[in-house]
Chain A
Amino acid sequence: MPEPIIDTHALTRDFGEKRAVDALDLSIRPGELFGLVGPDGAGKTTTLRLLAGLLKVTAGTATVAGYDLVKEPEAIKPRIGYMAQQFSMYGELSVLENLHFFAEIYRVPSGELAARTARLLEFAGLAEFTDRRAAHLSGGMQKKLALACTLIHQPQILLLDEPTTGVDPVSRREFWSILTGLHAQGTTIVVSTPYMDEADRCAVVGLIYQGRLAMCAPPAQIRSRVPGEMVELIPGDGRAARRVLAEMPGVLEIQTYGESLHVLVDSAGRRLPRLEGALREHEIAYKNIRQASPRMEEAFISLLRQMNEDEEE
């Protein structure tokens, strides 16, 4: 197994009294597509900024691309591409000027500049917009421009902080197909996301909760952590249905998604008919009841709920 390209030990960062990242142990192998998930304020952004050398480490050690994050953060910077959550290109500069600016900053050899920019523009679907000012691009195109700029120096590692937040679904899909392409070329990618379907596309997912790494595993493994099996239904009266079903034996957890209820039970085959019986008994209308396999979303919420309960104990 190759040496990890990002390796942190008890990595900690405080903001005054508040501990934003708490003794984080991360080990990411070269070429891995690593997803960071967790609720807002859990410490995803702080983790990525620490790895990019943008924040002073309070305690702990880390190596990124073979360099000590605490002692030689500047040696790491040419080897990473960092994309902040906020749009951080120059609005007054055109698409091409932004790319050239970062090429000069990273000292991309002049001979390769034209070929690289052409390839990235094509790759990001921005070839038609080279002269448009970055400020006048749509949200999705701005994200793709930012990604192209962080790729101009062909970094070994990409650190992306919620790159698809606030982007329309089509652009999101396009962005992820670009990421998948980069992953296939062997770039190590660490991406934070609030979207569970995106987390599902990562090779390994780290769940951060209150600054700590609560879980770190492939998505399939995380999904399998959901207790029992899942029954999905759309009740007429959600609140009444919840109340009735929560009292049933074998029901572990109930999650609401819009109109539908996702009921986690110890055994779907055994419990499904009884759930239906109970609903009929209480004269609660329902439709589309069926067994379904839990997704990342259910797993994520279930895990958070468990951790909250542990905390309260």
Chain B
Amino acid sequence: MSFRRIRAIARKEFHHILRDRATLILVLFTPTVLLLLMAYALTVDLQHVPLAVLDYDRSPASRAFVEQITAGEDLDLYAQVNSPGELEAMLMRGEIKAALILHPQFAEDLHAARGIPLQVIVDGTEPESGGFAVEQIGRRAEEFVTRALAGRLQTLGLPAGALQPIDLRVRTWYNPGLDPQNDLIPGLVSIILGFPALSVALTLAHEREHGTMEQLMATPVGRAELLLGKMLPYILVGLFNAIFIPLLAILWFDTPFNGSFLLFFLLSAVFLFSILGIGLIVGVFMRTQAAALALSFLLIFFPGFFMTGVFFPIASMPEIVRMEALSLPGTHYAIITRSIFLTGVGLEVLWPYAVMMAGLGFVFVGIAALFFKKRLG
């Protein structure tokens, strides 16, 4: 193993990254663009769901009720209609996602403290908006009724709290606002920081396509020297991203960062080593850049999204998929990023994941070196 050769390959690769515009853009800007794009696209922030109301009662009470339902940012009163036919037309045209129908005895039932029938119609083609509308209407209706009845209870000499026998006090730790973005962004960071693996796979295939690999194979350069030399620049590029991307998350998205930045940086280096190992495997087996790109998506990014627990909890996966998920460096790294960002724990908790990633890295690089032959054809 010659340090001089590794350095020569790494330096040449740096020149390639800096001078080939496509590579430079891929390496420097893609992670930023991806984080911005995905963070906005994937944050399911339901607001202003359009709602139509068919009020058969037309009493001050029913008007006050509708006013309260649509008072917030979440539900917008799209129209007050006079017939079910109008509602249906609006639903079919997609102008509204939900409709509320108040029956003629609304005020009467409220006054008598009877059960009030309330019909909600939702558009099942968009279950998220529909479910959200039902939830909001239910919550608001309860508040409205509670307040309306509170005065009546007092006249009966009962405390207002009698209507709510259980006083549920929920406190969410680590992400107090239960902001979905706070959980999403550290997960995205773990996927995005794996991006240099694609570049390393492409650069090996690039050398094959351009005949420079043939030239290298005719030299005494060792397989390990070549692979390590190829890896080194992309680890450095990855570490640049490991500083820049969390800063972007913190400064742009106000994502909390409770752990140690140094620890995050060091564990990112371990992650890069193991994910680049997969990139090397792809580059060793694929002859063309197109094939390397396709396989990278299959082996690196597809599992990154669906199997590392960023979007779907690993606990809910079938046994065999869970085993596979554990063999992906991204799974461990996703836990690490979320932990360091949100819970702020240190190595005393995270060491098993770091060990797993390092172990996987050695296995991957070993496989790549084993199957990388200094032969053509």
Within 8 Å of chain B (Cβ to Cβ): is A228?
Answer: no
Within 8 Å of chain A (Cβ to Cβ): is B114?
Answer: no
CB neighbours of B220 from chain A (8 A): 74, 77-78, 105-106
CB neighbours of A82 from chain B (8 A): 215, 218
Q: Are A101 and B12 in contact (CB under 8 A)?
A: yes
Q: Are B211 and A88 in contact (CB under 8 A)?
A: yes
Chain B residues 1 to 19 lying within 8 A of chain A, measured CB to CB, are 2, 4-5, 7-9, 11-12, 15-16, 19
Q: How far is the CA of A82 from the CA of B218 in the complex (A)?
A: 6
Q: Are A84 and B4 in contact (CB under 8 A)?
A: no
Residues A54 and B217 in contact in the complex (CB < 8 Å), given A88-B212, A97-B15? yes
Chain B residues 360 to 377 lying within 8 A of chain A, measured CB to CB, are 374-377
Within 8 Å of chain A (Cβ to Cβ): is B210?
Answer: yes
For A83-121 the 0/1 string (1 means CB < 8 A from B) is: 010111111110001001110111100000000000000
Q: Of all chain A residues, which has the CB nearest B18?
A: A92
Residues A107 and B214 in contact in the complex (CB < 8 Å), given A54-B375, A55-B376? no
CB neighbours of A93 from chain B (8 A): 12, 15
Least Cβ–Cβ distance between B22 and chain A, in angstroms: 11
CB neighbours of A84 from chain B (8 A): 211, 214-215, 218
Residues A55 and B377 in contact in the complex (CB < 8 Å), given A93-B15, A104-B5? yes
Within 8 Å of chain A (Cβ to Cβ): is B20?
Answer: yes
CB neighbours of B11 from chain A (8 A): 101
Within 8 Å of chain A (Cβ to Cβ): is B219?
Answer: yes
Q: Are B218 and A53 in contact (CB under 8 A)?
A: yes
Q: How far is the CA of A308 from the CA of B250 in the complex (A)?
A: 76
CB neighbours of A230 from chain B (8 A): none
Q: How far is the CA of A55 from the CA of B375 in the complex (A)?
A: 5
CB neighbours of B291 from chain A (8 A): none
Chain B residues 75 to 91 lying within 8 A of chain A, measured CB to CB, are none
Interface centre among B4, B12, B218 (most CB of A within 10 A): B218
Least Cβ–Cβ distance between B6 and chain A, in angstroms: 10
Q: Are A86 and B211 in contact (CB under 8 A)?
A: yes
CB neighbours of B19 from chain A (8 A): 92, 133
Within 8 Å of chain A (Cβ to Cβ): is B345?
Answer: no
Within 8 Å of chain A (Cβ to Cβ): is B153?
Answer: no
Q: Of all chain A residues, which has the CB nearest B7?
A: A104
Q: Are A101 and B8 in contact (CB under 8 A)?
A: yes
Within 8 Å of chain B (Cβ to Cβ): is A15?
Answer: yes
CB neighbours of B8 from chain A (8 A): 100-101, 104-105
CB neighbours of B376 from chain A (8 A): 49, 54-55
CB neighbours of A90 from chain B (8 A): 12, 15-16, 212
Q: Are B377 and A15 in contact (CB under 8 A)?
A: yes
What is the interface of chain B, defined by CB distance below 8 A to chain A? 2, 4-5, 7-9, 11-12, 15-16, 19-20, 210-212, 214-221, 374-377
A sample of 13 more A-B contacts (CB under 8 A), given A104-B5, A104-B8, is A53-B218, A54-B217, A78-B220, A88-B212, A88-B214, A88-B215, A90-B15, A92-B15, A92-B19, A93-B12, A100-B8, A104-B4, A107-B4
A-B contact pairs, 17 of them (CB 8 A): A15-B377, A54-B218, A55-B375, A55-B376, A55-B377, A73-B374, A84-B211, A84-B218, A88-B211, A89-B212, A92-B19, A97-B15, A104-B7, A105-B5, A105-B9, A105-B219, A133-B19
